[in-house]
Every structure is written in structure tokens, then in C-alpha cells.
Structure 1
Amino acid sequence: MSETKFIFFSGKGGVGKTSMASTTAVYYARKGLNTILVTTDPAANLSDVFEQKIGHQVTKIAGIGNLSAMEIDSKEATEEYKEKALAPMKEIFNDEMLKLIEEQLNSPCTEEMASFDRFIDFMDDDQYDIVIFDTAPTGHTIRLLELPVDWSKHIEESAQGSGQTCMGPVQNIQESKEKYDRAVELLKDTDRTEFVFVMHPEGSSIRETIRSSQELQEIGINTSNIIVNGILPEEECQNPFFKKRGEMQQKYLTQIEEEIDLPTKKMYLLDQEIKGLEVLTKVAAILYKEGR
């Protein structure tokens, strides 16, 4: 594999993005590829899934040689981002001006930008064969992806005004713009980047996936495939308790087939929690049985 491949997992909260992203990471690592799994989801639980402590630093996964993971902590990322933005100005500006700039950086926009900035660092890093991003719930992810697209306009407007933005002084942004432009080009490169939507066979999940996929397409990013997660096994639907729900799911599976023209993987509901390398390896064998 000559160039790093990037795989993004998105979808509504609670559909099993982290489980499917973790399963995929184990699948590629087991194939001998140097793999990292990165999450920007504030509700991330990679530590639970891999049954070991994973935090804001790249952490080797025990029991599998070429797999690492990281949970990007938005608060830590924001402090790092602010420090990086302020460092070159400490020798130029007085304390009063530095205080004004720091106040400008205390905004929700800065926190989003900081997480995205840390996240993009992995797209500039060629030490991995596969980089898997377990992203935050869809709406948040879309906003993060749209931010760099508007930078040129944002820089022009700020340069004509105060010279300040919620992401820091214009000069700093211009210096980073090349990095972000490269990232956006990679996001649009279908040979190197895959976008996978995880969904449940439910009406709200179908609508969310269609809407989000269209929003991505509007900014030039194509959805690669979908995973329909949490399907009741047919044998369980013989039970009257599950029969009605099974019928409802079949109706939605037909709707997905008719309305979403994308390659689809189906993941059936298991009788155990998806956690630990043994279970993740088993789930990977089920999910990727048809190969990639």
C-alpha cells in the first residue's frame, strides 16, 4: 500500500459508529496494515471497547502489534491550539494586546477548530497505512468539514476588518491554510478517502443518512458505503416478542435498498457486547466476509 487511506465513520448518535469503526480498525490491523483509530466524538468510549485506557495521546492497543488509538479531548486540543497561536506573538505584542487576542480565542468556534486541527494532523502523517476516524454525530461533523471550505472568504473579510477571527489572528490562519486545503482535497479524493454512514433500520436513521450524505455531496465529498447495524436475526423473529419489530426492520431494509443507491453491509444484533479484541475480531469476520 503506497499511500495512506482514510476511512470516516459517521451517523446519528447511538447507531454503533464506534463499534463499527473499532471493528474495521481491527480488521485492517489483522491484515498486517499499520492502523490508527482516532475519535473526535465527545461521547467516545474507545477505552471501554478495547478494555484499556485510551486518552488524548496515541496509545498502542495491547495484544495486536500494529494498531493504535486516540481519543481527541476537545479541551486539551483547545489549550494546545491556543498555545500554538499565541506563542509567536509573545515577543511582538504587549500583555494588553495578548490578553485581547486570548479573549478572542475563548469561543466555541475555537474549540471546534482545535479538534479539527488535531484531527487533520493525522491526514498529514504518512506513518500509517490506514487512518480511521470515528467522527462525532453527523451535524457536528458536517460543520467541522465545512469550516475549511469557507476559509478564503473568512480571511478576506477579517483582513478588511479587525484582523482577528475566532480561530486566531489572520496571519496564523493564512499560514495554516495550505494544510487545510490539502486536507479538503484528500477528503474529496475517492481513491484515498472513504465515508461510511452507520445507521439502524429505522425511519429517522434513513432520513438522517440521506440528508447528511446530500450535505457532504454539496461540498464535493461522496459517501462510499453504508452499514446497517442492529438487525434482528431471522431466527429470533420467530419469537412473538420480536416478530413485529423484525417485520418493521424488514420494511425499512427494503426502503434503504430502494432509496440509498450505495454498497451496503448488514450487521446483525449480537447476543454479546462488542468489546475486547476477541469479539472485535469475530465481528470483523462477519462484517467483512465478502472482502473489500
Structure 2
Amino acid sequence: MKKTPRFIFFSGKGGVGKTSMASSTAVYYAEKGLKTLIVTTDPAANLSDVFEQQIGHKVTAIEGVSNLLAMEIDSDEATAEYRERALAPIREAFGDEMVTIMEEQLNSPCTEEMASFDKFTDFMDTDEYDIVIFDTAPTGHTIRLLELPVDWSKHIEESSKGSGQTCMGPVQNIQDSKDKYDRAVKLLQDKEETHFIFVLQPEATPIKETIRSAKELGEIGINTTEVIVNGILPEEELLNPFFKKRGEMQKRYLQQINTEIPLPKRKMQLLAEEIRGVEILEKVADQLYNQQEAVNQIEISN
């Protein structure tokens, strides 16, 4: 029997439906009896809309699904928490002038990225949940995030010069966090513990971005596990002239996906209704996981 991963990352181009697929997957595992957490690192997070309840920057139980919790990481709040942890020992040991200098040094986009990474690694460094599902930001931002802690020698070397400061905080903070981040990187590179799933639609740009991003992840030791091809038109709708033309286009792109993306694939048909609420998420989960297995080649009808 295939081992259930402890961590599943969903990524993809904006607008392909990765939040819907991640949320449906979370419902699937929770209803199997696993204590499941879904976390979004996407600044345009909409878990609250998908689950039709307020979530925000705190772990929140999902109504109507036992064992399921969710959190939307707020980048501003995460950055404020990260800066405070970095500044607290300095505030105790030095005067206001030093704190002011360090506050300025920590005021950078790099610090915001590290704060987001630090926050989600908290959920990789605990045994509180059976499975954690990460709904990530669009692929470019996600890859940048995952690349950050790989080269520790660079950060420590930079910190040892001049002020002993990088966008990650004082060198002591880096050393204190190193073990936790190293464990996270090791888990990210473990194919049994961590699955990385790309969601795409049968269109040119998502296909191109998936191929490029999977290659970039591979270069830092993270393997793509499978892809979900979302938004496929049902065969019965292709009698309509408009949908027939679009269906023919989709078939060409599905053939391209079969040829150029040599990974296990699942397919998700376009639904008539919006994917919102537990009932619809259960329907999607059933189609994704109960009614099909991941296959190397998507069957394309003539």
C-alpha cells in the first residue's frame, strides 16, 4: 500500500484552480480520519471563500468536516512576528539606537520572504497533524521561497561581515534557526514524506510554466510527484459549437501534456457550479481520488 505523505504542496500558475484542488484534497484526507491542516502561503488567499467561513492568520477548525483545520498566513503579520523574534534579544541587550538600525535592515522584501518560509516550516516541525497541505503562491514566488535556506554558508558569511546582519536577522538568529530549516529542507526533498503537485489547465501558458517550474524544483532536489489537469470540458458538452471548438483545442493540449510531462496525472472536469462549500469539495475529492488513479497518460477520446 502506498504510504500517505505527511506534507503535500500544491502549486501552479495563478487562476488554474490550485486552491480548489488543495482544499478538496484536504477534505478527502480529513474524511479518511487523518487530522489534516491546510495552510495557504498565497497573498491572494481565498480559503475563507472556498470553505465559506472566516479563517485568517490563525489555525481554525473547518465547520462540517471533522479533523480538518485551516490557516491563511498573512504576510504582514508573519513578518511582524519574525522581526519581533529577531529584535527581542537585541532590545534586551542593547539600546534603542541599535534596535532602530536593525529595524531598518530587516525592512526588506527578503525579510518578508523569510518570514513566510519560517511560518510554514513551523508546520513541518511538529507532529500535531497527520498531514499538512500547503496551498502555495504562484510558482515563481514559491520556488524563490524554497530556494532561500539552501545555501546557509552564504548567509552566515554575509552576516560575519560588517554588521553581522542579513535580511534573515542577526547571525545568531540564523544559527538558532538552522537546525529547523535544515530539517524542513530534508523533508521537502524526501519523496515519501513530501509530495509536490502542480495544477494546470490544458492551455499553452500553464503547460509551459509547469514544465519550467518542475525543472527548477528538481535542481534544488525537490521532485514533482504528479499533476492535476483541471478544467477539462465534459464530452457531453462538446456538441455545442462553441464548446466543440474549445474541446478540440483542449485535446491538442492534453496530448502535449501526455508527451511533455512524464508524470502521473489526474484529471478534473469543469463543473457547472463554483467550487465552494464542503458539499462541492467532497464531490471534487470523490472525482479526484475515489473515481480514478493517477495515470501516466490521460485518455483522449476521438
Which TM-score tier does this pair reach, normalised by the shorter chain?
Answer: over 0.9
8 A contact 1:188–1:220 mirrored in 2: yes
Gaps spanning 5+ residues in structure 1: where?
Answer: none
Q: For residue 189 of structure 2, what is the aligned residue in structure 1?
A: 188
Within 5 Å, give how 1:118-267 maps onto structure 2. Answer: 118-267=119-268
Contact 2:198/2:227 (<8 A) preserved: yes
Q: Distance in 2 between matches of 1:121 and 1:53?
A: 22
Q: Counterparts in 2 of 1:44-123, with a 5 A limit?
A: 44-123=45-124
For residues 150 and 193 of structure 2, the distance between their equivalents in structure 1, rounded to whole angstroms, comes to: 19
Instruction: Report how far residue 2 of structure 1 moved.
Output: 9.8
Structure-1 separation of matches of 2:138 and 2:185: 19
Equivalent position of 1:290 in the other structure: 292
Moved over 3 A (4+): 1-4
CA distance in 1, matches of 2:180, 2:122: 9
Deviation at 1:3, TM superposition (A): 8.8
C-alpha contact 1:36 1:68 (8 A) present in aligned 2: yes
Measured after TM superposition, the shift of residue 290 of structure 1 is 2.7
Aligned residue for 1:90, secondary structure, equals helix
Assess if the C-alpha contact under 8 Å between 2:230 and 2:267 holds in 1. yes
Give yes or no for contact 2:50–2:276 (8 Å, CA) kept in 1: yes
**CA shift for structure 1 position 161:** 3.5
Tell me, what secondary structure is at the counterpart of 1:37? Answer: strand
Structure 1 vs Structure 2: percent identity of aligned residues? Answer: 73
TM-superposed deviation, 1:162:
2.6
Return the offset for 1:157.
2.6
TM-align CA RMSD: 1.4
| Distance (whole Å) between structure 2 residues aligned to residue 277 and residue 231 of structure 1 | 22
Question: Aligned equivalents of 2:62 and 2:52: distance in 1?
Answer: 9
Deviation at 1:4, TM superposition (A): 6.5
SS in 1 for 2:15: coil
TM-score by length of 2: 0.94
Cα deviation, residue 291, structure 1: 5.2
Equivalent in the alignment of 2:297: none
State how far apart, in whole Å, the 1-side matches of 2:4 and 2:88 are: 33
AA in 2 matched with 1:77: A
Q: 1:290 corresponds to which letter in structure 2? A: Q
Where does the alignment leave 5 or more consecutive residues of structure 2 unmatched? 295-302
Query: Would the aligned equivalents of 1:3 and 1:129 in 2 still touch at CA under 8 Å?
Result: no
Q: Give the number of equivalent residue pairs.
A: 292
Q: Tell me the CA shift for residue 91 of structure 1.
A: 1.7
Classify the secondary structure of the residue corresponding to 2:21: helix
